[in-house]
Amino acid sequence: MRSITRREMKYLKKRRHLSQDDLEGEDPLTGLANLFDLGLVFIVGLLLMLFATYHLQDLFTERSEITIVKKTKGGEVEIITKKARKIKAMRVTRQKAKGKGHRLGVAYKLENGTMVYVPDQ
């Protein structure tokens, strides 16, 4: 059996063993709080990426004008308009779409999916 050198003895003296008393001061949920913070950063980054992808930055500019048309699975249409600082949402139903008026022209949908409007003369 070999003897322990002085250098090895220093290493053994510096090394500290954790006892039960040392572990009582540690909070086991500290790591969970860090994961929560990481989740928040991820969500904010995801929202910023979605706004940039769909060019929705204009929603936050004061003088912009935007119109968004949404259609649900049930066929109901909702029109959202933003003019300057006012945002207005309007649901279009069959009753609201009826009214008096006159014919302006005819719209055709071509085979490739484009629409052509031909005004009446």
Q: What is the 3-state secondary structure (H, E, C) of 45-91?
A: HHHHHHHHHCCCHHHCCCCCEEEEEEECCCCCEEEEEEECCEEEEEE
Mean pLDDT over the full length of the chain: 80
- pLDDT top residue among 11 and 68: 68
The encoded tokens of residue 55 equal: 């060019």
| Domain residue limits, the chain | 6-100
pLDDT tens-digit profile of 42-88?
999 999 999 889 888 887 888 888 888 898 888 788 989 988 888 89
- pLDDT top residue among 2 and 21: 2
Q: Are strands 65-71 and 105-109 parallel, antiparallel or unpaired?
A: unpaired
pLDDT tens-digit profile of 22-33?
556 667 777 777
